[in-house]
Amino acid sequence: MNYKSYIIENDIDSIKSKIVLFYGENLGLKDSFKKKIKLNNHKAIVKHYTQEEVLKNLDKFFEEFFNISLFDEHKIFFVDQVNDKILDLIQDLENKKDDQKIYLFAELLDKRSKIRNYFEKSKILGIVPCYSDNELSLKKIILDRLKNFGGLSAENINIIIDNSNLDRIKLNNELDKIETYFVNKKIISSELLKLLNLNENDDFNLLKDAALSGNNRITNKLLTSTIIENEKTLFYINNINQRLNKLKELVSNDIGTIQHAIDTIKPPIFWKDKPSIIEQTKKWNFKKITNAQKKTFDIEIKLKSSSNLNKDILIKKILIDICSMANA
């Protein structure tokens, strides 16, 4: 049984399946579902496992799963890092007559995945795709969390979204800061910029803008002076992807001028980014952006799949490639 993530976000009770698979790259959304499930089963005993822990000690898992006393509350099981290896176990458990609930959490599963296909075809099991957030889904979270705050202008919303790099976990951390800092529930733009430490990423933003504008001289200069931190490489690649997505939306506009598209795009573009974006739209078209996105996607896969890489080198290489493509 297939469930839509945006529906169960608002109504976790709509999940009727006792075994549910959440899969996809959106860690923040999966964490949100875990919290909602716990709240919805606040009297339950929660057991946490990884797939490896379950499969290495099946006897212990079965004992925990089937051993229910009259004095126990019901149990729910979270199993992380799931893939096709656990499918046989799920097939053994799916028709058991019990009240235990199992929630499985996996990374992105492609269409050939056996466990994904099995859950999608089942009328008993539940499956929830958790794909990456976009600007609209994050805007909804911001409006919901800060609905009682004044000063929540379109520009301030855009600042918060841009700073999140479309990462729900980071967004929620930033919203926690905002709720704590603005105790009078009035957001002031100048203080918001300081609170979110936007200046700390200025060096990389200058480098990104130079590369996307095809400015070889400044790109080469900034490549030698800008510190690319290995632990922030996913932040950097997401930052680049955000701008490429924005440029693609703008150059695909067939109503009016680029300037009109920039002025009317939703969410609005932060004022200080407008000059760079105008310059970049002169260098890029739909085909070139699509080719650049293929490259950034490949880099993102490498960054996520291996820790034995000079990740800073990969980021610098993609920026050099982008600068070259801008001038092609």
DSSP labels, 26-59: -HHHHHHHHHHHHHHTTTSEEEEEEHHHHHHTHH
What pLDDT, in 10s, does the model give residues 85-143? 999 999 989 877 667 899 999 998 999 999 999 999 999 999 999 988 888 899 999 99
Provide the pLDDT for residue 235. 83
134-138, 195-199, 274-278, 292-296: which has the highest mean pLDDT? 292-296
What CA–CA distance (Å, rounded) separates 283 from 288?
A: 9
**Structure confidence at residue 87 (pLDDT):** 96
Instruction: Find the radius of gyration of the CA atoms of the chain.
Output: 23
Question: Could you tell me the strand order of the sheet in which 126-129 lies?
Answer: 45-50, 75-80, 101-106, 19-23, 126-129
Return the percentage of the chain with pLDDT > 90, whole number. Answer: 53
CA distances from 10 to 144, 157, 280 (A): 12, 22, 39
| pLDDT value of residue 268 | 72
Nearest alpha carbon to residue 297 among 132, 146, 182, 56: 132
- φ, ψ of residue 46 in degrees (nearest 5): -100, 125
**CA distance readout (Å), 303 to 210, 306, 318:** 23, 6, 12
Structure tokens at 242: 């955000």
Question: What is the structure's pLDDT at 70?
Answer: 59
Separation of alpha carbons 239 and 299, rounded Å = 13
Q: Per-residue confidence at 72, pLDDT binned at 50, 70, 90?
A: low
Average pLDDT of the chain to the nearest whole number: 89
The arrangement of secondary structure in 5-129, i.e. its CATH architecture, is 3-Layer(aba) Sandwich (3.40)
CB 143 within 8 A of CB 177: no
Determine how β-strand 45-50 pairs with β-strand 19-23: unpaired
- Which class in CATH covers the domain with range 200-326? mainly alpha
pLDDT at residue 232, rounded to an integer: 82
pLDDT, tens digit, 9 for 90 and up, residues 201-236: 678 888 999 999 999 999 999 999 888 888 888 889
The pLDDT of residue 247 is 93
Q: Using CA atoms in the order 149, 155, 161, 163, what is the torsion angle rounded to 10 degrees?
A: -100
Rounded-to-integer distance, Cα 19 and Cα 96, Å: 11
* Separation CA 102–CA 117 (nearest Å): 18
**C-beta of residue 284 within 8 angstroms of C-beta of residue 251:** yes
Q: How much is the pLDDT for 201?
A: 64
For the chain, the domains span: 5-129, 135-196, 200-326
Residue entry with tokens 């922030």: 232
Short-list 64, 90, 94, 60, CA closest to 76 = 64
Report pLDDT for 198: 61
Q: What local confidence, expressed as pLDDT, does residue 91 receive?
A: 92
Within 8 A by CB and 6+ apart from 268, the residues are 154, 155, 158
**pLDDT for the residue numbered 175:** 93
